Amino acid sequence: MINFLAAIGIGLVIGLVGGYWLKGKQPNAMWLAPVLALAGALAASVLAWFIGDRADYGWKEPILQVVLAIAGVAVVAFLASRKPAPTAGATRE
Q: What percent of the chain has pLDDT over 90?
A: 33
Domain ranges of the chain: 2-79
Backbone angles phi, psi at 84, to 5 degrees: -65, 150
Instruction: Tell which residue, 64, 35, 36, 34, has the closest CA to residue 49.
Output: 64
Please state, in angstroms and rounded to a whole number, the distance separating the CA atoms of residues 36 and 42.
10
- Reading phi first (left if > 0) and then psi (alpha if -120 to 50, else beta), residue 86 is in beta
Look at 33-37, 39-43, 72-76, 88-92 and tell me which has the smallest mean pLDDT: 88-92
> How do residues 22-51 score in pLDDT, each as one tens digit?
888 777 888 988 999 999 999 988 888 887
Question: 30 with 19: CB under 8 angstroms?
Answer: yes
